[in-house]
Amino acid sequence: MASMTMAKALNTALADAMLDDDRVVVFGEDVGQLGGVFRITDGLAARFGDKRCFDTPLAEAGIVGFAVGLAMSGLRPVVEMQFDAFGYPAFEQIASHVAKLRNRTRSALTAPIVIRIPYAGGIGGVEHHCDSSEAYYAHTPGLKVVTPATVADAYSLLRSAIDDPDPVIFLEPKKLYFASDETQLPARTEPFGRAVVRRPGTDATLVAYGPAVPVALAAAEAAQEEGWNVEVVDVRTIVPFDDGTIAASVRKTGRCVVVHEAQGFAGVGAEIAARVQERCFHSLHAPVLRVAGLDIPYPAPMLEHTHLPSVDRVLDTVARLQWDDQPDERWVTV
Amino acid sequence: MTTTPRAVRRKARPAAPPDPARPLLPSSEQIRLLDPAGTPLPAHPDYPAPPVEVLVELYRRMVLGRRFDLQATALTKQGRLAVYPSARGQEACQVGAILALRDDDWVFPTYRESMALTARGIDPVEVLTLLRGDWHCGYDPAVRRTAPQCTPLATQCVHAAGLAYGEAYQGRDTVALAFLGDGATSEGDFHEGVNFAAVFKAPVVYFVQNNQYAISVPLSRQTAAPSLAYKGVGYGVRSEQVDGNDPVAVLAVLTRAVAHARAGHGPFLVEAHTYRMEPHTNADDAGRYRDADEVARWQDRDPVVRLETYLRDRGALDDTTVARVAAQAEEYAADLRERMHDKPNVDPLTLFDHVYAEPTPQLVEQRAQVRAELAADQEGAG
């Protein structure tokens, strides 16, 4: 076992995929000689040539639309949107073409494209560099939406994404790029569509993904001191979503809090809360609660810590799970 | 009056280097090889007229295309199609583009290219599937090397660049031809597509049919450029403008454009000046934004009549052939009418078949729910 960062695991996954399959091509803004602003494509152009890893004009719709054409010609494009919010110009290409090509053509044409997006905050980034944009993509049928929280998953999920016959929005938590773990590559973890219990517990379930997973784990440790034995489930693949693992956990614990960085209103957490209540109603001792970002545009760096889910905010929310059989005081006056 | 200092006056201005943009620029006038009455104009050095047997085939497919278009409009009035965007008046462009390509080249059509698709030999029933409403794309795009008809106007411009690059990357000499309209040149994806194709030297022909209106909005509201063909120069793309109602010129210019792309010189942009004789679709009222005189003026430049006159004058077409082509067109329309008469079978359970290669568990659940609903309906009906 060697200590490895998520950034290095992603870089290795790209290199291994290119080695295994000549059809894999990597392109985007600054991904060539520079190796990407986060160095995720470091060394690929030198190793595989500038036909297989190359810079494009600075135009995100162009990058994604170009990938659609390349996929139609039989290649397997892996493209990078430099930052979450820089992906918005590509949204029409993603929603109207990448997501729908298989459907429109009854599977005669497909779009096995991976769109890598460094996303979310916690790194002191200025505006337009810290959005959590997963809900836009998860709301679009035809896309798979994946976000790793561990180094091994970063490698394995990216390899699975590149091998997948369908388009994958691959959301990389910037905050975790340089977090390291003891990992031996090539690591292969659970496939798409499987959530994973990261910490077993009996009293409540925290459901999290991407950058919120370490927060949930830290909160679970802290909760232990309060006498609550909290389970943490890492969603991993938002689409396809693993109802089974999450429902099994909540049926066991009877309590559930969903944690994510994105603003809460109409977010993925709302979907998860609804699904848990549909499946676990008779097991629940309290309403499913959410700890999400505030419903505000992503704040300036000096204010982001107030916006982001914190261990304290998660603990406060766990405390409101009606342990004493009293309704949540916040709702009494409503 | 100021006097220029002697020293400055003596210094000779160095000769200007050749303008690198000049070879890219379109002709200042539309390329035209026939006058509006069908009389040949002097030969053009850059755009030789295609062989006469090709022009006879162009005529044949244009007549079939027009008959198809009229039939599709009639089918819409009978309620067989949800809507139909006619290309009547644009036959030279629709068919000329197809004849300029090889069968293994790729076409990226928009919703107005139904006539072009039939000219490509795609079954007209499959072409009209989109508008009949039993699925989105009725033909097999991989087999026909024809992308599904694109409704978002300009997104296909980027796909064409990517496909052409990918084909070249894999050692094939495929050309991609992207159709678009005048309004689509205002969309960002047109500019990104042309720029990507230029930067990567992708073999793409961008073929703008400027039919003067984007639904109701006239060309003057899309651009202040002297011609849409000038949009190529800013991207380093060779460009040309052509009389889109002169079938001989359209085919000549597009043949040159395709050869340019196939030879590895990068993309080529062609603007064809033409006119949409019908409203935007059957649901539109063109009387609200253009007058009858304007339509009549364009009627006088009918591309089918123009080509027929030219070919008759050259002795390449006689009454017998004209009658035979007309009969073929009637037969084609009758067959289409007949086959569109039957209501297509649609199976709601196929809704779940082409979302992902493998349906998600959620889709499996929803499919089971719909299946149960259908079974209950059937039981109720039985």
Q: Could you report the per-residue pLDDT of B108-158, keeping only the tens digit for each?
A: 999 999 999 999 999 999 999 999 999 999 999 999 999 999 999 999 999
> Can you state the angle between helices B156-169 and B188-199, rounded to 10 degrees?
20
Say how far apart CA B122 and CA B135 lie, in whole Å.
16
What are the start and end residues of each CATH 3.40.50.920 domain in chain A? 196-332
From the list A26, A34, A80, the residue with the least C-alpha distance to A54 is A26
Which among B163, B195, B355 has the least Cβ separation from residue A69?
B163
CB-neighbour burial class of residue A28 (10 A; exposed 0-12, middle 13-18, buried 19+): buried
Asked whether the beta carbons of residue B360 and residue A240 sit closer than 8 angstroms, the reply is: yes
Residue pair B92/B307 in contact by the 8 Å Cβ criterion? yes
Given the residues B289, B290, B312, B367, the one annotated as active site: B289
Q: Is B355 on the interface with A (CB under 8 A)?
A: yes
The tokens describing B356, both together, are 């992902």
Asked whether the beta carbons of residue B162 and residue A97 sit closer than 8 angstroms, the reply is: no
Question: Best residue in B155, B350, B356 to probe A by mutation, most A CBs within 10 Å?
Answer: B356
For A107, the closest chain B residue by CA position comes to B354
The whole model's pTM is what? 0.95
CA terminus-to-terminus distance, chain B = 103
Which CATH fold topology does A196-332 show?
Rossmann fold (3.40.50)
For B152, the closest chain A residue by CA position comes to A96
Q: How far is CA B163 from CA A73, B172, B275, B340, in A?
A: 5, 11, 30, 33
- Enumerate the residues of chain A whose CB falls inside 8 A of the CB of residue B159: 65-66, 68-69, 72, 97
Which among B158, B166, B355 has the least Cβ separation from residue A61?
B158
The tokens describing A143, both together, are 């896309």
Contacts of A286 (CB under 8 A, 6+ apart): A254, A255, A320, A321, A322, A328
Alpha helix stretches (DSSP H) within A194-301 = 212-226, 243-253, 268-280
For residue B12, name the pLDDT band (cuts at 50, 70, 90): confident
Mean pLDDT lowest among A244-253, B7-16, B245-254: B7-16
For A99, the closest chain B residue by CA position comes to B355
Q: Is B196 on the interface with A (CB under 8 A)?
A: yes
Q: Could you report the per-residue pLDDT of B323-334, keeping only the tens digit for each?
A: 999 999 999 999
- Residue numbers of A annotated as active site: 129
- Enumerate the residues of chain B whose CB falls inside 8 A of the CB of residue A90: none
Task: Give domain B22-341's CATH superfamily.
Answer: Thiamin diphosphate (ThDP)-binding fold, Pyr/PP domains (3.40.50.970)
Which among A59, A71, A92 has the least Cβ separation from residue B155?
A92
Residues facing B270 on adjacent strands: B207, B240
Task: For residue B134, give the H/E element and its range.
Answer: none
Q: Where are the domains of chain B?
A: 22-341, 348-381
Say how far apart CA A211 and CA B368 lie, in whole Å.
35
What are the start and end residues of each CATH 3.40.50.970 domain in chain A? 2-183
Catalytic residue list contains B297:
no
Q: What ipTM is given for this predicted complex?
A: 0.95
Chain centroid offset of residue A163 CA:
18
User: Helix or strand or coil: residue B137?
Assistant: coil
Cα dihedral B56, B60, B61, B63 sign: positive
Residue pair B238/B23 in contact by the 8 Å Cβ criterion? yes
Residue B8 has pLDDT above 90, yes or no: no
User: Helix or strand or coil: residue A107?
Assistant: coil
- Enumerate the residues of chain A whose CB falls inside 8 A of the CB of residue B106: 72
For A242, the closest chain B residue by CA position comes to B361
Give the torsion through C-alpha atoms of B335, B338, B340, B346, to 10 deg.
-120
CATH of domain A2-183: 3.40.50.970
Q: Could you report the per-residue pLDDT of A269-300, keeping only the tens digit for each?
A: 999 999 999 999 999 999 999 999 999 999 99
